[in-house]
Amino acid sequence: MPQTPDKPRSQPLPLLAVLCLMTLCCPECQSDRLTQAKKLLEGGDFLSARKIYSRIAESRPDDYAVRYGLGMTWCAEAIYKTEIGIAGPQDWYPAIYEMTVATHLDTGKEVRGTLAILHYNLGACFKKAGNREEAVRRIRHAVSCDSTLLKAYNLLGALYQEQGDLDNADLSYRHALLLKPDYSPAHFNRGSLAWARGDYAAAEKCFQDAVTCEPQNANFSGWLEKARKAAAAGAGGR
């Protein structure tokens, strides 16, 4: 009689595959991996950290800590590229995406503050590239995420000033000073705004406020002296 073929036998998984599956399924193991990823990120190895976060995200896509960690790895890479002079707007998008996902998982102040800084950095990148319109849009998004981000109001004012929108520029600088009355960059920028309008007496007052907040700043002191001379020449108050 013809022999009946043996039934196919299932092959055992290699030991490494079994260990990988155990790591993915074991909450304690994943917690250890998250700790490892965080330490790698804090040590500057954002690429290795990202690999760990990405692997955990395959089984835990709605985990706030994982998405926040992923966002921070992309942020670290964008900062690194900025420091070596090769960053472009596209380098901030992955970080913003992950942080936006994180805000839907946790609406806490920390993640929204981080997202605000990312939009600010992207806006600054667009400003450097000469795209003021997109820079303004991103900076406005930043302050919508964190209404206390001083440097965002200051940069927004500078962008409006460059566009010739002096009223909105002044409003932005004033908003920064409402949050922090001794914020010297906003005082100085209000002085430059008054100077651009030809109001040298007002410029002198704003530059003096900036110097009072930051006495060692030679640029502030230099512009204060210029404004004093212009105001003394009878050109102020127009």
Q: Are 99 and 118 in contact (CB under 8 A)?
A: yes
Alpha-carbon distances of 60 from 25, 53, 93, 141, 215, rounded to whole Å:
10, 10, 22, 29, 52
**195's tokens:** 């100077």
Whether pTM > 0.85 for this model: the answer is no
Kindly state which CATH superfamily the domain 32-147 is placed in.
Tetratricopeptide repeat domain (1.25.40.10)
Alpha-carbon distances of 64 from 30, 75, 110, 163, rounded to whole Å:
14, 16, 12, 39
pLDDT tens, per residue, the chain with 238 residues: 444 444 444 444 444 443 343 444 455 567 889 999 999 999 999 999 999 999 999 999 999 999 999 999 999 999 999 999 999 999 999 999 999 999 999 888 889 999 999 999 999 999 999 999 999 999 999 999 999 999 999 999 999 999 999 999 999 999 999 999 999 999 999 999 999 999 999 999 999 999 999 999 999 999 999 999 999 987 544 4
| CA 191-196-197 angle, 5° bins | 100
